Structure 1
């Protein structure tokens, strides 16, 4: 059975111009022509076209494809293995570029104005998950607290971040100790740690009243990416996110009951003088 150039183009998802080019290049010449001189392709031509398109998809040049199809003794496996190596190298290069782009986007979305080297030096294991940063940006884009937090994060110097992370590290060590010692999540020690975390947020990012702190803690429980900003995966324990979430809720209830220690909601005196 014979097919016109238009029919073959439709079958293969290529243009008529492409088929004409393959013909001129000697890569795919139709098996016959109609009385009017139009190209006619048979089943063998279609099979050859399928091979050509396969090699094209893998990135082979037309010259390499022609050489493979022209020589029945050509070592197709060797050609494919060589191309596989080239593709692997290209994939690795593109991944490196994607990582660079991701870091650049991440800097814009997290408000952290540090170089990659400085970020590693300051934050260590704590990593900002780009997908979480993007979702947070969309979720809180209209929030005044979000805008304030981003603005203040952008204004932090490298020394600010060092001090912030030292505070966070010391607080995290206390949290892990309380959890490992099975201190009750609604006990004084756990609630005090929750209050320290709330004040830490207020001091460095944005005023964090108990209601907001509860929402943040709920995020820790619901999304591992959010909790990883507080406790890196290597230091996490099963149930730790739930423990912190319950402690935050218990502390919020304690403050609502008027049994807090009297520290002001939001900024502390230290914050007001920074």
Structure 2
């Protein structure tokens, strides 16, 4: 049975049993019985009394020491550091507490950065692009639809790809977004130049552009070849995407779709059975 059930004492001048059992002391201090046992075992805070049956009893002086242990532990000091503060007169208590305060400040700053990062990640999962409308227009051009990310979230918000997109977006600076926009615009121009030069969609030059498209698109999420097939098909059939590519070069979306299909076949993928995977 627990030692509390056997322990007993008499009232001392401080008004409680001389002394308190382990369970009573733990309850008074708001710590666990296991902690008191550990502090006893390492000699940090031992009970002064024992019952005739050998059970621990804590006196008023013991409780005072335990209270000091709890205070310093809550301030983050390790047990050996607490022992030095309580027992070693040569210990610089102010210095020890100042050092602990510096560590606490560092942890607070780290947690604040973590909190800010979590806020950005939550925002990115909700909004997609963490840029103001003005920034989006300046980076992506006047034809950019600032509602596009919200529309995409409504369609794809529950997919792994949206989560990957949000994770990349959360830490992306306006300068990094500008680099993404520049890479995309350069690819569009080179696709148009390839089409105007009469390059075959199934030729090596077109295949290299298809690979480049996958690399550029990776700024949003990793794009498999099958996913690229479906995306290129959407470029051709979706009015918004088709208008974008037609503005770069009429018929470009269709030419690029043929190039993607040819590249997929070259890698053993049947475009007609491609799936989003």
TM-score bucket (shorter structure): 0.3 to 0.5
**Relative CO higher for 1 or 2, CA cutoff 8 Å, sep ≥ 6?**
1
Q: Which has the larger radius of gyration?
A: 2
TM score, norm. by length of structure 2: 0.47
TM score, norm. by length of structure 1: 0.48
